[in-house]
């Protein structure tokens, strides 16, 4: 998500103002409900340059909202993904919480009683329109606090031209991946299978592989199960059959960030990797013919793909519950949801917008990702310990597949850290 996700608002001039509360706020308390209100919104930038900065999206949305809602102003501060989560956490800690944040995590704020629950803010119609798999991931202790903002799923990408040259068909099993990567290596492909387990988004790459062997970060009742037999077997296979046989390219997986792997794919240097919709568009724009299949598993294609979501939330501090709710109801109209998804080749988070995208021929290439979303499995966003666990995966998982590495030891260490983080909640 962010992966994914990866995850995609005028406005930079409002940075200073957004970091400090001003007299235009309607005051503290449960909900002022009267008078003029200025909402502070902090959002992540999904753009890759000034030309496609998310500022443009938010500027247009806010202009429409303010016209439809006299008396409510919205000031937006757009920050890079490298900074936005940390900046919002600092603002909250300093007693200067924004009214609305669009960021990567919400659970810590919900646990600390800093957020309105979704049913306190939005209309029943808006709440009922979210995809169930996403709202399930937006709950803490059974209450919905995180509104999914945008989503993505993952598929295995392969370079069709390289596959044709090597006489290969789309892989369905781990054995197909191994034999295909060996054939690609023999053809001189730089990265037969790119395995980005560097710190940028190793937690997502890891989850995809765990799912491919019927494992995952948590068990069926939501308890951490990181060092399960299935998970250890998965990383043992990766160590012995891909990394150990020199099939993952010149950069050690623990040193390979996702962005570098994706860049290599767009250059035609990668045979296979796990990708998302944005990469598909970027690769094809550079002449790479992209094939896509569900991530192969030990015995066949993975039944459930990994899903990624980013989140919107409303903070209690300034007492602007009603105004926040009006903004959310406006922002989650089909027109606005689809405009953002279109701009960044991501997936809408509501049922009606998803249905519209699915029937629109201009989105035909996204249909496989859309089809995977309802049954996708998301990371355990609702656990306040997840941020700690995710960081541990990023820092350590590459060691599990390194020469002489021990998946059992590495996964066991991450599991122990997860247990400690859970106990601290």
**What CATH superfamily classification does 155-304 receive?**
Periplasmic binding protein-like II (3.40.190.10)
Beta strands in 64-210 (DSSP E): 72-79, 100-103, 139-140, 143-144, 147-153, 155-159, 191-193
Residue 31: per-residue pLDDT: 55
pTM of the model: 0.79
Distances (CA, A) of 203 to 206, 224, 232, 258, 315: 5, 14, 15, 11, 28
Tally Cβ neighbours within 10 Å of residue 48.
12
**CB-count burial class (<10 Å; 0-12, 13-18, 19+) for 14:** middle
pLDDT in tens, 139-166: 999 999 999 999 988 999 999 999 999 9
pLDDT in tens, 354-378: 999 999 888 888 888 888 887 788 9
Tell me if 12-152+308-372 shares its fold with 155-304: yes
Mapped onto helix, strand or coil, the DSSP state of residue 343 is helix
Q: Is the pLDDT of residue 33 over 70?
A: no
Q: Which of 50, 49, 48, 72 is nearest to 62 (CA)?
A: 72
How high is the mean pLDDT of the chain? 89
Which class is 12-152+308-372 in CATH?
alpha beta
- The full set of domain ranges for the chain reads 12-152+308-372, 155-304
pLDDT in tens, 175-232: 999 999 999 999 999 999 999 999 878 999 999 999 999 999 999 888 999 999 999 9
C-beta of residue 393 within 8 angstroms of C-beta of residue 203: yes
Tally Cβ neighbours within 10 Å of residue 86.
11
Question: pLDDT band for position 15 (50/70/90)?
Answer: very low
Alpha helices by DSSP H, 199-320: 202-211, 229-237, 258-266, 277-285
Report the percentage of the chain scoring pLDDT > 90: 69
Q: What is the arithmetic mean of pLDDT over 302-308?
A: 85
C-beta of residue 2 within 8 angstroms of C-beta of residue 81: yes
């Amino acid at each position: 998500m962010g992966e994914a996700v990866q995850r995609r608002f005028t406005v930079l001039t409002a940075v200073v103002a957004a970091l400090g509360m001003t007299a235009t706020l309607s005051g503290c308390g449960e909900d002022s409900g009267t008078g003029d209100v200025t909402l502070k919104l902090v959002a992540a930038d999904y753009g890759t340059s000034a030309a496609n900065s998310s500022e443009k999206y938010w500027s247009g949305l806010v202009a429409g909202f303010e016209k439809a809602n006299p008396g409510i102003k919205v000031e937006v501060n757009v920050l890079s993904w490298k900074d936005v989560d940390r900046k919002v956490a600092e603002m909250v800690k300093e007693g200067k919480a924004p009214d609305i944040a669009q960021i990567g995590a919400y659970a810590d704020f919900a646990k600390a009683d800093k957020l309105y629950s979704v049913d306190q803010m939005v209309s029943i119609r808006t709440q009922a329109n979210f995809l169930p798999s996403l709202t399930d991931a937006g709950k803490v202790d059974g209450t919905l606090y995180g509104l999914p903002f945008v989503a993505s799923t993952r598929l295995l990408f392969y370079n069709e031209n390289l596959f044709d040259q090597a006489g290969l068909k789309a892989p369905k099993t781990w054995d197909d991946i191994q034999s295909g990567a060996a054939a690609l290596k023999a053809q001189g492909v730089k990265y037969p299978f790119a395995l980005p387990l560097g710190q940028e988004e190793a937690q997502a790459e890891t989850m995809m592989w765990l799912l491919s062997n019927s494992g995952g970060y948590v068990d069926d009742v939501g308890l951490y199960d990181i060092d399960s037999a299935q998970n250890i077997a998965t990383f043992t296979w990766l160590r012995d059959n891909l990394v150990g046989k020199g099939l993952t390219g010149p950069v050690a997986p623990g040193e390979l960030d996702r962005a570098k792997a994706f860049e290599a794919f767009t250059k035609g240097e990668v045979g296979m990797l796990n990708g998302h919709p944005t990469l598909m568009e970027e690769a094809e724009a550079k002449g790479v013919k992209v094939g896509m299949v569900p991530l192969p598993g030990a015995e066949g294609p993975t039944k459930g793909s990994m899903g990624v979501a980013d989140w919107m939330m409303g903070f209690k501090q300034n007492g602007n519950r009603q105004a926040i709710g009006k903004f959310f109801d406006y922002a989650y109209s089909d027109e606005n949801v689809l405009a953002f998804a279109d701009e960044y080749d991501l997936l809408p988070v509501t049922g009606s917008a998803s249905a519209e995208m699915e029937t629109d021929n201009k989105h035909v290439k996204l249909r496989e990702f859309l089809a995977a979303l309802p049954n996708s499995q998301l990371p355990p966003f609702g656990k306040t310990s997840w941020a700690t666990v995710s960081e541990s995966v990023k820092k350590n998982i590459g060691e599990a597949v390194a020469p002489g590495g021990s998946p059992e030891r590495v996964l066991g260490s991450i599991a122990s850290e997860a247990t400690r983080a859970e106990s601290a909640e």
